[in-house]
Structure 1
Amino acid sequence: MPYAERRGAKWRVRWNTGKKHPENGKWLYDSQGGFDTRDDAIAYGLDRESDIRNDRYVSKRDGSLLMSEYCRTWPETQDVGHLRRRALKSMIRLYIEPRWGDLAVGEIRASAVRAWKMWLDDQPNIGEGYGREIFGTFSMMMDDAVEDGMRQSSPVQKKRRRGKYKKAKRERKKDMLIEDVHQLACNALTYWGFPGYVFILTMAFTGMRPAELYALRREYCPPNWPASDPLDDPEEEDREERHAEEMERYAGDDPMPAIRVQWQHQWKDGVLSLLPPKYMSRRALVVPPFLAELLELLLKSHDFDYVFPSINGGELAKANFTYSYWRKIADGQRERRGPVPGSGKGKGASRRWLPGWEPVKNWAGKRLYLLRHGHKEWVDEDVPIRIAVESRMGHEVAGVEGLYSNVTVGMERRIMAALQARWLRFVATLPEGWEPVSPTPLPVDLLEWMKSQVKAAEALTRGTGS
């Protein structure tokens, strides 16, 4: 039974929380003041005791933890990868703790949360997607606070939508033309060298993520793989069984050239590290024969551990690829003489001549990642089998469809043939003098190789009667 006592002109009520002090074993009490009458105070105390009996009550002590402390400890309770943990800590440090850090967890009100959400939406430096991530992180923190007994309910209202409807903004995209892709590859050849030419074509014809391309090692690339697979990942429990299946599938009587996506390059604790691909999406990707030939030529041209060395011959992931490579390749380049970004400084810096080139149609200002999007569009168009396309992109198909479906050898052969045919149809249209200007000698005779591709295109045309 709660009891009330007068405090000046007002009344205060105290009630037993049903919990005991962990050290001395005495009952713990909560209180609330500011009531005009004794009856009002007693009624409030009775309501709290009802909450206690029905397991709805959150003690003031339980909800008194400051958000600043909760922001420090909460990320460590999340079972996520290091990149996601780093993103959570960044959003908390930049946006959540500055707004809520001085309040107790139990003091946060729904109206204040709605006002903060509107503030996030109005910030010019916070994109729509990033804003959703920030608010989603805060929502998870409040849900966990409820489970930990620091709040009775979350202040984030999820079941009803308020305010005017806003249509989600989507990036405007155009069809990915193979003519544009090849021009990007030629620009990369001029600026970066032969590795750049093959890099662009590999991303466009496999849909690999950039970090997966940065970390592509020789042993996971045709013609070496799958025979060269080191099987050295201790977290992959079924690697022996997986390797046996891949030897039969990709190196058997009728082999298919394929890349094994085993790692991605990411920075972890300040160290460039090999980590599993996003969503643990290790996979094998069949590649069209022309690309397998280019990859073999590239591997013969250098002895670096990774397939795509940077301009200065080091790990590509150590460069700011978007700024130092991609923007120059896609947005155009004026003729210049001087150091090449990423090639060092002082006497050892590269000062090769770079000819100018125009921006690539439909790609100036666009993201590198759209090459991956474009690859999916190509495969969707040529081989519209959802399980094959999504598996190739490193996605899982949910539900019964994903459970019952499987990527067959026939599906992979259709993808390989469709990509090869797309390339050969393009090669047949190449005009005289298509060759890009290279400021340094190429390690391969690209012109002679392209002539062989033209012959293959002519043979395909004769074979189809078109």
Structure 2
Amino acid sequence: MEDGMARRARDVYVEWRGGTCRVKWWSGDYHDDGRKRFESKGGFTDEDEAYDYGLDKMSEIRAGTAVSNRDSSTLMSNWIDDWFAATDHAYTTRKSYKAIINKHIRPYFRGKTVGEIDVITYRAFRKHIFAKLPAAGSAKNVMTVLGMILDDAVPRLIKVSPVERQRKRGRYVKTTKRERKRDLDIAVVDQLARNAEVVFGYPGYVMYWTMAMTGMRPGELFGLRREYCYPNWPRSDPRPDPDEEDRYKDDVLRYGVGDELMPAIRVQQQVQQEEGRLAEVPPKYFSYRTLVVPPFLAEMLDKLLASHDRKWVFPAIEGGCLGSVRFSDDYWAPISQGAEERKPVRGSRKSRPAIPKVPDFAGKRMYLIRHGHKAWLDEDGHSRFAVESRMGHEVPGVEGTYSSVTVAMERAIMKALQQRWDEFQREKTAPSE
């Protein structure tokens, strides 16, 4: 066809301009004045090829699978902003996603459109991020966020996601390396508790025994208020939810102080830093739960609450919340890794004796104490449903629907934990051979 001439059929046009031709097709939309809105693609040297391309685009439009040139040209940075604004996650998750986006994803794809992110570009980014972040877990977190961003761009901005899913064909190859854990020795818990007592007094000593005997998460321990702790709870429960009246009544009949009642802690919240301030928020996964405690720990908690009038069961050195301090550096590091003797400096710094290192936890996460608690429960053969409920986990399927934690199950847990303590005390006081 000669220059300037056009071919039209079914709202598809082919135009020659110089040595190449361009195809135009109706996008299915209209301008404000009622005229049809067309899109185009140039650079063809064969008119039939260009015309067939236009017909294919029209077919996609009719099938509802087409992506307009305008949408595919959306800048990646703009799509990231829209995607993030539409997410609905807990504060810590949003904070983590925002950090990953701003530190890794946004800078790498600056200036690129969503339509330009193909499989090759995706692979290049994956190679880049795994080289930049040696810790495989950190790199995988970045790839997970990018995968969600690109997956959600389908079908409006791109036809298919370039995210490559791991295939399960062929020989199995283990790709994830589990964190190596040691059995939680009760003597190790005792040493951690004694070290904590040196760092922040009796609250520290009781807090570590509480974590080992309940499996509570750190944020839940930091945010435990005295009205939710034995011996005050359940009679001191603020009862904020009118829909929970039946549970409140049952709690009074089941838990508390007395021969027929079981001492317990109510996990009703945790504390987190939100925008530079301490916030009291629901426990992770909204895992509200009641945790019975063995008698020895009940005595410790009773003594602890009688020793101070703070809001928090386990107050920090200055009396505030542990969620507001640099706990990992100023508390956990000397507790787990040990510390040399500290002498006072002009009265502004209290003296502190040397703290022994705890090899099993030096350089490890405090969270592993929680893992050890579950291992203890599993060793003792308790009901799987009772164990998972105590850990704050949802049990899926029929088991989760029909099971419940009975008084007998809770008493069995109390008894087993008390036996661990009693055996440990006997071993400590037994004369050496």
Say whether the fold is shared (TM-score over 0.5): yes
2:164 aligned partner: 157
Structure 1 position 335 matched with structure 2 position 341: yes
Q: Which amino acid aligns with 2:91?
A: H
- Superposed CA offset, 1:141-160 (max 9, x none): 1222114x111111112263
2:207 aligned partner: 199
Pairing of 1:84-233 with structure 2 (within 5 A): 84-125=93-134, 127-147=135-155, 149-158=156-165, 160=167, 165=173, 167-232=175-240
- Contact kept, 8 Å, 1:383 with 1:418, in 2: the verdict is no
Q: Which amino acid aligns with 2:164?
A: Q
Q: Which amino acid aligns with 1:313?
A: G
Q: Which of 253, 258, 261 lines up with 1:255 in the alignment?
A: 261
Structure 1 position 245 matched with structure 2 position 250: yes
Pairing of 1:314-393 with structure 2 (within 5 A): 314-338=320-344, 349=348, 351-393=349-391
TM-score (norm 1): 0.86
Question: Secondary structure, in 3 states, of the residue corresponding to 1:187?
Answer: helix
- Contact kept, 8 Å, 1:178 with 1:426, in 2: the verdict is yes
In 1, Cα distance between equivalents of 2:412 and 2:95? 40
The structure-2 alpha-carbon separation of the partners of 1:36 and 1:17, relative to structure 1 and needing over 3 Å to count, comes to same
1:462 aligned partner: none
Q: Which amino acid aligns with 2:22?
A: R
Task: Using the TM superposition, give the Cα deviation of residue 237 of structure 1 relative to its aligned residue in structure 2, in angstroms.
Answer: 5.4
The structure-2 alpha-carbon separation of the partners of 1:319 and 1:203, relative to structure 1 and needing over 3 Å to count, comes to same
Percentage of identical aligned residues: 48
Question: Secondary structure, in 3 states, of the residue corresponding to 2:232?
Answer: coil
Question: Secondary structure, in 3 states, of the residue corresponding to 2:164?
Answer: coil
- Superposed CA offset, 1:9-54 (max 9, x none): 1111101111123x33321111111111211211111111121122
1:300 aligned partner: 306
Task: Using the TM superposition, give the Cα deviation of residue 335 of structure 1 relative to its aligned residue in structure 2, in angstroms.
Answer: 1.3
In 2, Cα distance between equivalents of 1:192 and 1:39? 81
In 2, Cα distance between equivalents of 1:282 and 1:30? 55
- Contact kept, 8 Å, 2:214 with 2:293, in 1: the verdict is yes
In 1, Cα distance between equivalents of 2:48 and 2:93? 52
In 2, Cα distance between equivalents of 1:25 and 1:403? 57
Question: Secondary structure, in 3 states, of the residue corresponding to 2:43?
Answer: strand
Q: Which amino acid aligns with 1:242?
A: R
The structure-2 alpha-carbon separation of the partners of 1:427 and 1:35, relative to structure 1 and needing over 3 Å to count, comes to same
Q: Which amino acid aligns with 2:216?
A: M
Task: Using the TM superposition, give the Cα deviation of residue 383 of structure 1 relative to its aligned residue in structure 2, in angstroms.
Answer: 3.3
In 2, Cα distance between equivalents of 1:335 and 1:159? 52
Pairing of 1:363-442 with structure 2 (within 5 A): 363-431=361-429
In 1, Cα distance between equivalents of 2:167 and 2:24? 36
Q: How many residues align?
A: 419
Task: Using the TM superposition, give the Cα deviation of residue 323 of structure 1 relative to its aligned residue in structure 2, in angstroms.
Answer: 0.8
1:3 aligned partner: 13
Q: Which amino acid aligns with 2:138?
A: Y
In 2, Cα distance between equivalents of 1:354 and 1:171? 33
- Contact kept, 8 Å, 1:258 with 1:286, in 2: the verdict is yes
- Contact kept, 8 Å, 2:24 with 2:41, in 1: the verdict is yes
- Contact kept, 8 Å, 1:181 with 1:201, in 2: the verdict is yes
* Structure 1, gaps ≥5 residues long: 340-346, 434-466
Pairing of 1:282-297 with structure 2 (within 5 A): 282-297=288-303
Q: Which of 44, 48, 54 lines up with 1:35 in the alignment?
A: 44
The structure-2 alpha-carbon separation of the partners of 1:165 and 1:100, relative to structure 1 and needing over 3 Å to count, comes to farther
